[in-house]
């Protein structure tokens, strides 16, 4: 007979709210309230199943009226209950679409300050790349790039609040900054605002990859969604203190290595009177004789062979403040190459979380302070993160809940990306080191020179009589005088009321806000190579409000048929407001960075206002038949202000079903769980702000005459909403009491009518047109295998393998257009979306092939195509995956993650020029005859390029390799020669944790538990094919920035330890 | 359930309606900028004319147009920045009901003359280009028109525009940044006729009859003296300074030195314009105050050390250096040539030649003595200078077009001057290759155009280039 069963669910740390309590083999259930209590009607003999994200579920037979349960963490196994769209929770075993959940512990084992980067390698089918620079942005693409215009970021939702993670570059569509950085020009990477989420506050992260799972979110989740649930307060008073430190070191395999045989210069022609001369002969001492002077103005290393017995005057001897002033020094390779410029980065990360609760409510309050010090000198990012959350049961029916998160970020000295020096940013130091350098220059001398005078005492000066910079500054000057600073103050939070009108109907009202205020400053001090000196500032506020009203139904129709439903309204208001200005014509007073310090009156500030309102109405139903058949349906209608009136309303439906066949096969006890899922969904998307109406842009007045020009991107008053059609099916099963399981998914997405500014022939008078364009298809498979091969009281081994293969194809583009150029780089290389090809093909010049061999001309040089539209690579990987292992022995846990990516191409501009300037070891050393390559041909030097003549015979013609442009780098080979394979295998993470035995802890007194962990991240690149660089580094966030490297940052190995005290 | 908030999507910080004159001013400045700049990703004609050459990054001097996507930069600047805004100004002017018929007609004529100027620059740079289908966003893949047909159209548009200029009414007035409202329409008549003269003479080798007609009609109405020179007068403060100053002086570049081709020529003629063109340097390894400073240019297409060669003079290194769009000197050179070609433009070839050189030396600050001495030099004097009329006129015109790289490059090709080739090249740069973007986004039309002109490479000669 039925009875009411009461109880409390907790874990080692206290009460657990939100735990699913279900009667096994039925659809009936409830969840625990704010203090972990529950009540449920069940008959004796039935079994209650308690499950919660990140915990082992427990089954307890009903034989008493009070059942208290303590759940144990299972950090290595997927949770059984997942939080899905709109904060609804679903039992994973019945979910009709893919959702992958990670616990807070899994994404924060390193206590890295950026949560998003920590997801890398852990989610099947997610490509996650974090730029290597300090605070660099994180680019996340789920199931392949769907949008042609660049941003393929999923929606981020924290406790139901959508959080902006667009990197600054993507706001405002095709802004100049975007286009510049996309095309490899300079700019800073200010990181992704998603980094404002406190990793210490995360209870779980659920990744929803398909449209069926995200359809209720409407337009914005077309690229999937990342649902983050923060921690909740527990009963009593709980205090957790974490203190951690991470150290770092540059992975040398991802930074330039230098030849150490030849010094400064481009070739043997400096003194017109001395054939073969690599030096200037100039009277710098004023004594009437000529001295041997290093060509300081040239930024290459095709110069004189090093010889410690040869004494020369180098840049130090020109600097009156230098101890070497007017002194000769031996001609040798630098003892300290540019790799010694990098600091050892470190991170301090301390947090205190307090939570507690009573019968009526619970709260949590947390504070985290993190300080990151980057590899570039004078670079740091400091963050204060405050988190508060609480809920209170006002009456039995009414619960109020609120959370506020406040994050302060202060950055300084972030590194530039791409080809700097063009838009008020300094030259990119990494480009300097990788492409244009003299290997005789000792970085520690530069350090001494800078700190001696705090000025730009530099290696690359124009002449002995003009000590201003030729092409590059002293890198210390760049970092200490031309640094950027930025601040971001952000709060996001929500208030919600939950009223239980009936026990089958909940009404939830929720208001949320995500707000941030950014202030960015860029400086170029007087004395830099970039002129004029300048100061630029940008103030921006971003605000998004969401108002939701949800009606949640949960009522069984018959004892066999369960019904859950949701009806909702959502109103979203977004407002972005910015103003920026810069000095004009230089700074009057050096070092004073203020607009008022402008040589000429400043130009108009640039103001931008983007406003957007989207209103949505939606509903969803879930039917369950017994415990094996589930059917979901959703429908949402959105209306957006960014679309033309006539097309501003759009609908998206989804339908999804799952068949839990294991429920019918209970006799087969080896089968723990088995499910087939199938779903189809369509989601829409609106346009970027201001893409409908034509406007004119303002240029600076000419004297008193005002100047306007037609905006270079043509807007379109006939835009229609975008649409993504998504189909997914899969099979999940686990065996032997869940000791082993797999999840297989096949999906196919088509994104059609994409709204994007297509690049067109500029003979139209426009750079781009906003159109509805194309059909991009992504299809692929994702496989996750979990295993628990060994499990004893003392020892366990968990393994999790994920694998994904995505095939991307552009099926059609805008009317009559068969190729869309995404970006253009130096040397005529472009990335493209071409009909019939994957998104992101690289085009450029190619070799001419003879029988598959590279053809050379009669002089032994490579032939290459004159046209630049040859397919020379594809920036998409063929497949990706990760293997996670965790071993526990008593109180010790060791875990590590290896992830890998196979295929894909990178156009490496650093090699194009680094070889051209003779920096890399390839350009020196011995040739096939055993002679120095750089010797003149007459002395047995030179190299034979691998290839064949027009008649197919192997090339035997030795060519000169003694100077710039002779045998290596730019102009000696087509673009194709600098396209590398982006595959890698990385030891991404390792962690070793020791929980101090309770018996010992108790002696200390107040402390309940102490965990000590040693951890590391990006520890080892086990395999890669691109030389001197990290295959994951790109130009910044956004898919169009992938597949090209220019001034790329080295990988930083991170390792550290963390102490966690639980009181 | 929420009321329509369409106004939210309005860009409240940008103009939705502007006077046509603001677009015209902008287009004038952009046209001047693209011709005046020395930015090596847009305008490299000082290098191809060998007035200058590069120091270490010698790609452009070596005709490598791909490294910095130069054709893309030049093409975009004219189609997007200049022509797009002229078309828009044309549209707005036509729709403007507040203008008097005469002023409207003047403004439309001004717009048309500038459009013709811009198109002629594009044709002379690339050959066949999009013209009839150009500057129209509804056709994203415009076809390329035959260059000689474009020339025909340009000439008839010029005739039409010239017939519509009415000196009793104003045009764009002070928004016309070329003449600032001073003698505006009569100045535009001279400017328009000069453009017609230039377009006309360019056809001389390929369509002599058309050329004769145009040249004879335009000659009497073209610029009459240096006072008529058409220049864009830059200001002393950024961002309205001469782009050359921005790149080279404000930017402190050491990428360019004087080109040996022009410097050697000037030296051989003891040209009085040398101090206005270049800096003089001390080539003594141990400099003494008694050393004689000399003009020395770097080798074309080879690496040159910045400190060892002359560079551009202080005269052109000025923020407010005016940039010439047409000058009296080139008119006189054209007339000298016209006489030699048997066109009826009055005067003798020698007199026009003398007028042209006199105007140029005067413009560059030379004295009367400089002029008479120079003209007396047998290598200069028309009667005694060596070579054909094309070579004689071409050489002096080449000298006079210093700092007008595009014009100099065009005259080199048109008059058949032979310049030294960079070491890695077998042909002079007879044209720009088409933008790489066109290969990617307008491929079918691109391929057709490439085939029509005889191959998209730098050696292909333009239709008027019969040398």
Tokens of A97: 């679409």
Tokens of A1003: 């002696």
Predicted confidence at residue A1035, as pLDDT, reads 65
In CATH, A2-73 is 2.60.40.1120? yes
Compute the 3-state secondary structure of chain A and give helix, strand, coil in percent, each to the nearest 5.
10, 50, 40
Residues of B whose CB is below 8 A from A706: 22, 25
Q: Is residue B192 part of a domain?
A: yes
Q: How far is CA A1056 from CA A244, A888, A989, in A?
A: 7, 20, 12
Residue A1022 CB-density burial (10 A; 0-12 exposed, 13-18 middle, 19+ buried) = exposed
B58, closest residue in chain A (CA to CA): A965
Give chain B's count of helices (H) and strands (E).
Answer: 18, 6
Matching fold, domains A2-73 and A161-250+345-415+484-838+876-908+983-1062? no
Residue with tokens 């050390």: B305
Q: Is residue B337 part of a domain?
A: yes
Residue A1062 CB-density burial (10 A; 0-12 exposed, 13-18 middle, 19+ buried) = middle
Q: How far is CA B226 from CA A467, A785, B200, B229, B272, in A?
A: 41, 84, 21, 5, 18
Query: pLDDT digits over B10-48, tens only?
Result: 888 889 999 999 999 999 999 999 999 999 889 999 999
Q: Is residue B148 part of a domain?
A: yes
> How large is the average pLDDT for residues B277-298?
88
Predicted confidence at residue A166, as pLDDT, reads 63
The answer to whether ipTM exceeds 0.85 is yes
Strand, coil or helix: B433: coil
Select the residue from A466, A762, A766 to test the B interface by mutation, using most B Cβ atoms within 10 A: A762
A615, closest residue in chain B (CA to CA): B2
Residue A1006 CB-density burial (10 A; 0-12 exposed, 13-18 middle, 19+ buried) = exposed
Q: Contact A708/B130, CB-based, under 8 Å?
A: no
Per the structure, the count of domains in chain B is 1
Q: Contact B6/A703, CB-based, under 8 Å?
A: no
Select the residue from B8, B15, B128 to test the A interface by mutation, using most A Cβ atoms within 10 A: B8
The closest CB to that of A696, out of B15, B67, B135, belongs to B15
Size of interface A-B (CB pairs under 8 A): 256
The closest CB to that of B25, out of A280, A702, A869, belongs to A702
- A18 φ/ψ sector (left φ>0, alpha ψ -120 to 50, else beta): left
| Angstroms from B157 CA to nearest CA on chain A | 20
Residues of A whose CB is below 8 A from B68: 826
Q: Contact B240/A702, CB-based, under 8 Å?
A: yes
Q: Is residue B284 part of a domain?
A: no
Q: Contact A819/B440, CB-based, under 8 Å?
A: yes
Q: Is residue B5 part of a domain?
A: no
Contacts of A433 (CB under 8 A, 6+ apart): A255, A256, A338, A341, A475
Q: Is residue B332 part of a domain?
A: yes
| Angstroms from A271 CA to nearest CA on chain B | 9
Q: Bridge partners of A249?
A: A1053
The closest CB to that of B13, out of A290, A607, A814, belongs to A607
Strand, coil or helix: B163: helix
Q: Contact B130/A761, CB-based, under 8 Å?
A: yes
Select the residue from A763, A974, A1046 to test the B interface by mutation, using most B Cβ atoms within 10 A: A763
| Angstroms from B82 CA to nearest CA on chain A | 9
Q: Bridge partners of A823?
A: A831
Domain that holds residue B228: 20-242+320-453
- Answer yes or no: are the C-beta atoms of A299 and A472 closer than 8 Å: yes
Q: How far is CA A273 from CA A270, A281, A413, in A?
A: 9, 9, 46
B10, closest residue in chain A (CA to CA): A690
B140, closest residue in chain A (CA to CA): A760
CATH superfamily of A161-250+345-415+484-838+876-908+983-1062: TonB-dependent receptor, beta-barrel domain (2.40.170.20)
Please, what is the Cα angle at A751 between A745 and A753, to 5 degrees? 165
Domain spans of chain A? 2-73, 161-250+345-415+484-838+876-908+983-1062, 262-332+419-479
Predicted confidence at residue A1009, as pLDDT, reads 83
Residues of B whose CB is below 8 A from A709: 23, 26, 30, 81, 84-85
Residues of A whose CB is below 8 A from B233: none
The alpha-carbon radius of gyration of chain B (Å, integer) is 23
The alpha-carbon radius of gyration of chain A (Å, integer) is 31
Predicted confidence at residue A177, as pLDDT, reads 40
HEC profile of A12-53: CCEECCCCEEEECCCCCEEECCCCCEEEEEEECCCEEEEECC
Direct distance between the N- and C-terminal alpha carbons of chain A, in angstroms, rounded to an integer: 43
Listed residue (B84, B88, B93) closest to B164, CA to CA: B93
Predicted confidence at residue A171, as pLDDT, reads 35
Chain-centroid distance, C-alpha A74: 28
Query: pLDDT digits over B94-133, tens only?
Result: 999 999 999 999 999 999 999 999 999 999 999 999 999 9
Residue B8 has pLDDT above 90, yes or no: no
Q: Is residue B287 part of a domain?
A: no
- Answer yes or no: are the C-beta atoms of A528 and A545 closer than 8 Å: no
- Answer yes or no: are the C-beta atoms of A204 and A103 closer than 8 Å: yes
Higher local confidence (pLDDT), A816 or B390: B390
| Angstroms from A711 CA to nearest CA on chain B | 9
Residues of B whose CB is below 8 A from A599: 238
Residues of B whose CB is below 8 A from A765: 79-80, 83-84, 87, 134-137
What CATH number is associated with residue B103? 1.25.40.390
Counted residue by residue, chain A has a size of 1063
Strand, coil or helix: B115: helix
Listed residue (A503, A361, A354) closest to A17, CA to CA: A361
Tokens of B88: 């828009």
Burial B128-155 (b: 16+ CB within 10 A, else e): bbbbebbbebebbbbbbbbbbebbeebb
| Angstroms from B16 CA to nearest CA on chain A | 5
Other C-beta atoms closer than 10 Å to the C-beta of A633 total 16
Direct distance between the N- and C-terminal alpha carbons of chain B, in angstroms, rounded to an integer: 74
Per DSSP, A336 falls in state S
> How large is the average pLDDT for residues B4-11?
66
Residues of A whose CB is below 8 A from B30: 709
Contacts of B332 (CB under 8 A, 6+ apart): B352, B353, B355, B356, B359
Other C-beta atoms closer than 10 Å to the C-beta of B224 total 11
Low-confidence ranges of chain A (pLDDT < 70): 1, 12-14, 34, 53-54, 73-83, 85-88, 109-110, 146-151, 165-187, 192-193, 422-424, 1035-1041
Tokens of B208: 């002599």
- Answer yes or no: are the C-beta atoms of B337 and B393 closer than 8 Å: yes
B133, closest residue in chain A (CA to CA): A764
A422, closest residue in chain B (CA to CA): B251
The closest CB to that of A765, out of B84, B175, B442, belongs to B84
Using CA atoms, how far apart are residues B315 and B309, in angstroms rounded to an integer?
17
Q: Contact A710/B88, CB-based, under 8 Å?
A: yes
Q: Contact A298/B437, CB-based, under 8 Å?
A: no
Other C-beta atoms closer than 10 Å to the C-beta of A861 total 19
Query: pLDDT digits over B413-463, tens only?
Result: 999 999 999 988 999 999 999 999 999 999 999 999 999 999 999 999 999
The closest CB to that of A763, out of B15, B79, B308, belongs to B79
Q: Contact A529/B252, CB-based, under 8 Å?
A: yes
Q: Is residue B407 part of a domain?
A: yes
B283, closest residue in chain A (CA to CA): A272
Tokens of A986: 């990385």
Using CA atoms, how far apart are residues A915 and A938, in angstroms rounded to an integer?
23
Select the residue from B56, B144, B308, B432 to test the A interface by mutation, using most A Cβ atoms within 10 A: B56
């Amino acid at each position: 007979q039925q009875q009411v069963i009461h109880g409390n669910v907790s874990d080692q740390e206290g009460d657990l709210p939100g735990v699913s309590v279900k009667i096994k083999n039925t659809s009936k259930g409830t969840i625990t309230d704010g203090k972990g209590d529950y009540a449920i009607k069940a008959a004796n003999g039935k079994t209650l199943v308690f499950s919660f994200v990140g915990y082992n579920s427990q089954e307890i037979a009903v034989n008493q009226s009070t059942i208290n349960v303590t759940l144990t963490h299972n950090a290595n196994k997927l949770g059984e209950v997942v939080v899905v769209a709109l904060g609804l929770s679903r039992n994973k075993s019945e979910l009709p679409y893919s959702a992958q959940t990670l616990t807070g512990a899994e994404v924060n084992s390193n206590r890295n300050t950026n949560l998003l980067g920590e997801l890398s390698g852990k989610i099947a089918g997610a490509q996650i790349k974090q730029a290597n620079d300090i605070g660099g942005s994180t680019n996340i693409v789920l199931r392949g790039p769907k949008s042609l215009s660049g941003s393929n970021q999923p929606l981020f939702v924290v406790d139901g609040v959508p959080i902006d993670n667009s990197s600054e570059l993507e706001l405002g569509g095709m802004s100049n900054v975007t286009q510049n950085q996309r095309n490899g020009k300079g700019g800073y990477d200010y990181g992704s605002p998603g980094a404002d989420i406190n990793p210490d506050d995360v209870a779980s992260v659920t990744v929803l990859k398909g449209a069926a799972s995200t359809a209720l979110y409407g337009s914005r989740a077309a690229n999937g969604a990342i649902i983050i649930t923060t921690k909740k307060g527990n009963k009593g008073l709980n205090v957790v203190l974490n203190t951690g430190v991470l150290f770092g070191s540059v992975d040398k395999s991802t930074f330039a290595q230098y030849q150490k045989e030849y010094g400064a210069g481009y070739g043997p022609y400096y003194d017109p009177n001395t054939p073969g001369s690599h030096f200037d002969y100039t009277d710098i001492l004023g004594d009437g004789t000529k001295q041997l002077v290093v060509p300081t103005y040239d930024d290459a290393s095709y110069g004189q062979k090093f010889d410690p017995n040869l004494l020369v005057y180098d840049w130090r001897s020109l600097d009156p403040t230098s101890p070497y002033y007017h002194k000769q020094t031996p001609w040798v390779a630098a003892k300290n190459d540019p790799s010694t410029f990098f600091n050892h980065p470190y991170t301090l990360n301390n947090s205190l979380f307090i939570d507690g609760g009573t019968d009526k409510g619970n709260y949590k309050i947390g504070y985290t302070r993190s300080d990151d010090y980057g590899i570039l000198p004078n670079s740091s990012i400091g963050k204060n993160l405050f988190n508060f959350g609480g809920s209170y049961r006002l009456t039995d029916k009414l619960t109020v809940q609120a959370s506020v998160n406040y994050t302060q970020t202060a950055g300084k000295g972030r590194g530039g990306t791409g080809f700097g020096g063009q838009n008020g940013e300094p030259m990119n130091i990494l480009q300097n080191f990788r492409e244009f350098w003299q290997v005789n220059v000792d970085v520690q001398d530069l350090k001494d020179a800078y700190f001696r005078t705090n000025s730009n005492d530099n290696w690359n000066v124009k002449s002995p009589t003009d000590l201003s910079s030729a092409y590059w500054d002293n890198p210390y000057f760049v970092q200490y005088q031309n640094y950027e600073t930025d601040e971001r103050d952000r709060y996001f939070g929500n208030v919600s009321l939950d009223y239980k009108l009936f026990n089958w109907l909940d009404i939830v009202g929720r208001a949320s806000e995500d707000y941030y205020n950014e202030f960015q400053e860029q400086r170029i001090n007087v004395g830099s190579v970039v002129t004029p000196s300048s100061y630029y500032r940008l103030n921006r506020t971003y605000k998004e409000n969401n108002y939701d009203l949800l009606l949640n139904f949960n009522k069984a129709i018959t004892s066999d048929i369960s019904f859950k439903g949701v009806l909702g309204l959502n109103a979203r208001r977004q407002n972005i407001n910015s103003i920026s200005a810069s000095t004009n014509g230089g700074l009057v007073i050096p070092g004073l960075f203020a607009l008022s310090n402008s040589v000429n009156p400043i130009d108009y500030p640039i103001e931008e206002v983007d406003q957007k309102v989207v209103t949505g109405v939606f509903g969803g139903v879930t039917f369950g038949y017994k415990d094996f058949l589930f059917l979901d349906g959703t429908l949402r209608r959105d209306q957006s202000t960014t679309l033309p009136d006539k097309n501003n309303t759009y609908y998206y439906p989804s339908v999804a079903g799952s068949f839990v066949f294991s429920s019918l096969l209970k006799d087969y006890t080896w089968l723990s769980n088995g499910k087939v899922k199938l779903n189809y969904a369509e989601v829409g998307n609106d346009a970027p702000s201001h893409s409908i109406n034509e406007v004119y842009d303002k240029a600076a007045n000419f004297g008193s005459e005002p100047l306007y020009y037609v905006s270079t991107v043509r807007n379109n008053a006939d835009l229609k909403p975008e649409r993504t059609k998504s189909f997914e099916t899969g099979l999940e099963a686990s065996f032997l009491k869940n000791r082993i399981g797999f999840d297989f998914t096949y999906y196919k997405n088509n994104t059609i009518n994409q709204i994007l500014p297509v690049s067109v022939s500029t003979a139209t008078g426009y750079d781009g047109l906003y159109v509805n364009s194309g059909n991009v298809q992504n299809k692929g498979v994702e496989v996750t295998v979990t295993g628990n091969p060994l499990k004893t009281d003392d020892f366990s081994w968990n393994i999790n393998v994920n694998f994904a293969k995505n095939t991307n194809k552009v099926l059609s583009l805008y009317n009559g257009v068969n190729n869309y150029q995404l970006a253009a780089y130096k040397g005529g290389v472009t990335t493209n979306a071409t009909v019939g090809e994957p998104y992101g093909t690289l085009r450029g010049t190619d070799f001419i092939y003879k029988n598959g061999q590279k053809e050379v001309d009669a002089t032994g040089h490579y032939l290459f195509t004159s046209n630049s539209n040859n397919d020379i690579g594809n920036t998409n990987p063929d497949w990706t995956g990760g293997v996670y292992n965790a071993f526990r022995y008593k109180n010790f846990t060791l875990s590590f993650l290896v992830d890998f990516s196979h295929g894909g191409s990178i156009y490496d501009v650093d090699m194009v020029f680094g070889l051209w300037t003779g920096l890399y070891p390839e350009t020196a050393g011995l040739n096939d005859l055993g002679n120095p390559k750089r010797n003149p041909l007459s002395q047995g030097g030179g190299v034979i390029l691998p290839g064949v003549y027009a008649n197919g015979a192997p090339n035997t013609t030795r060519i000169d390799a003694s100077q710039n442009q002779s045998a290596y780098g730019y102009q000696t080979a087509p673009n194709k020669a600098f396209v590398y394979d982006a595959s890698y295998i990385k030891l991404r993470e390792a962690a070793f944790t020791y929980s101090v035995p309770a018996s010992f802890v108790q002696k200390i007194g107040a402390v309940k538990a102490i965990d000590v962990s040693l951890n590391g991240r990006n520890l080892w690149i086990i395999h890669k094919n691109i030389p001197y660089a990290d295959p994951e580094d790109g130009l910044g966030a956004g898919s169009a920035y992938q597949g090209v490297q220019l001034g790329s940052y080295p990988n930083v190995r991170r390792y550290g330890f963390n102490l966690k005290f639980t009181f | 359930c929420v009321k329509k908030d369409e106004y939210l999507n309005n860009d409240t910080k940008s103009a939705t309606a502007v006077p046509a004159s603001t677009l015209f001013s902008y287009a004038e400045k952009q046209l001047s900028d693209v011709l005046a700049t020395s930015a090596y990703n847009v305008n490299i004609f000082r290098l191809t004319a060998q007035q200058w050459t590069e120091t270490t990054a010698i790609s452009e001097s070596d005709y490598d147009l791909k490294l910095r996507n130069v054709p893309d930069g030049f093409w975009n600047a004219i189609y997007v920045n200049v022509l797009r805004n002229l078309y828009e100004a044309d549209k707005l002017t036509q729709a403007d009901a507040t203008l008097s018929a005469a002023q409207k007609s003047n403004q439309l004529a001004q717009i048309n003359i500038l459009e013709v100027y811009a198109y002629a620059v594009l044709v002379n740079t690339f050959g066949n280009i999009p013209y009839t289908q150009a500057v129209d966003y509804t056709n994203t893949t415009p076809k390329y028109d035959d260059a000689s047909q474009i020339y025909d159209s340009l000439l008839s548009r010029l005739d039409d525009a010239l017939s519509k200029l009415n000196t009793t009414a104003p045009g764009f007035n002070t928004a016309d940044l070329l003449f600032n409202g001073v003698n505006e329409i009569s100045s535009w008549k001279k400017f328009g006729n000069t453009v017609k003269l230039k377009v006309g003479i360019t056809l001389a080798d390929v369509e002599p009859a058309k050329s004769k007609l145009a040249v004879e009609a335009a000659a009497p109405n073209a610029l009459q003296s240096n006072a008529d020179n058409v220049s864009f007068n830059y200001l002393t403060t950024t961002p309205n300074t001469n782009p050359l100053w921005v790149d080279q002086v404000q930017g402190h570049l050491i990428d360019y030195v004087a080109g040996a081709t022009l410097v050697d020529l000037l030296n051989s003629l003891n040209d009085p314009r040398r101090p206005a063109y270049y800096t003089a340097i001390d080539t003594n390894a141990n400099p003494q105050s008694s050393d004689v400073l000399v003009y020395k240019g770097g080798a074309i297409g080879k690496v040159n050390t910045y400190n060892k060669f002359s560079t551009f003079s202080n005269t052109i290194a000025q923020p407010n250096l005016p940039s010439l769009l047409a000058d009296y000197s080139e008119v006189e050179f054209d007339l000298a040539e016209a006489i030699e070609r048997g066109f009826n433009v009055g005067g003798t070839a020698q007199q026009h030649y003398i007028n042209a050189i006199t105007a140029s030396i005067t413009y560059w600050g030379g004295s009367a003595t400089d002029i008479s001495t120079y003209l007396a030099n047998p290598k200069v004097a028309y009667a005694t200078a060596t070579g054909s009329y094309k070579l004689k006129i071409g050489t002096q015109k080449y000298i006079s077009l210093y700092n007008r790289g595009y014009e100099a490059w065009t005259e080199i090709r048109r008059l058949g001057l032979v310049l030294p080739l960079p070491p890695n090249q077998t042909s002079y740069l007879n044209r720009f290759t088409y933008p790489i973007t066109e290969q990617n986004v307008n491929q079918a039309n691109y391929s057709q155009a490439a085939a029509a002109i005889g191959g998209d490479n730098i050696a292909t000669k333009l239709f008027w280039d019969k040398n």
